[in-house]
Structure 1
Amino acid sequence: FPRNRFSPGSDSLTTATSRAVPPPPPRLEHSARLNAIRKLFLEKYGREPDFFARSPGRVNLIGEHIDYCGFSVFPMAVDKDIIIAVGIDCNSRRVRVANVDEKYAPVEFELSSAADGYCTINAAVHEWSNYFKCGVRGILEHIRPDAPRGMVWEDPQPDKGRAI
């Protein structure tokens, strides 16, 4: 698998920080949600997550998704986001992911080779996990896949029309 182009010689992404400017502490509502998703992850997978990732939401003030076609946009951050708890199992290529909202069924899939696109996404089947699989593909273009497990807290849900 290709090496990480952001950290040459590394198999994983690194966190960029400045010693002069410490990161802000998590907001109270983020801390509560992190604790909740940590507990759900522990109940579901029987272990602590290795790390959490948070992606803030955005809206395009023009109202179109023209950035997908390479055009300029005028995005603005919103208070909605996605928080993901991840656990790595280096002995498996099986990815198991669950959403905290039980109306979205848990999904499992095997990671495949880079030539096969890492995972199968059936565009004819509209399911929440396709968003997750697209993220997996994007990440695996830069790092070695180690069969992560994940738990997603998404606000808004994927069918609400905002991009995260």
Structure 2
Amino acid sequence: MSTDGDPFAQPGIREVVHETRDLGDANSRLRVAVARHFGLPVADVMALTHLQVHGAMSQRQLAEGLGISTSAVTVMLDRLEPLGLMTRVPDPHDRRRTLVHVYSAAADPLGVYGAIARPFLRLSEEDRRHAIRLLPQLREILEESVAAVEALPPVTGARVPPTPAPEG
């Protein structure tokens, strides 16, 4: 399949882009709901998610992964550690470093993981297996999209043409 020309001219591209966008929007709303549940800023939930996905890491690595300063991570950890949502422990390989650990799904004292997982029981086992195969591919495609957008020249004084009205 050629990547030249208008990608939206290809069958199903517009629909998959829209569905992926809607999935991202739903995920953002889930983060907001979890943040409200904990009484935390959404950025803190993003930090928890980042640690759950990538495992324990240094405060500097966490800051880089979130695109924030190390001082902002320190303030965040000072807020999250007393809640038992994450903890700082000495790095066993480097006494100068501290690693940040997040609580795990196995130790889900507040039932958040269960609340998130239960609706997926509506999917058949076959559909869950299909999602497990497809979602990583979609994530990789989204990462490629991120890189492609980041490679575009910066926009200054943008003047976006109006979107034409749908035909019909």
Higher relative contact order (CA 8 A, sep 6+): 1
Q: Which has the higher strand share?
A: 1
Q: TM-score, normalised by structure 2?
A: 0.23
Q: TM-score, normalised by structure 1?
A: 0.24
Q: Which has the higher helix share?
A: 2
Tell me which structure has the larger Cα radius of gyration: 2
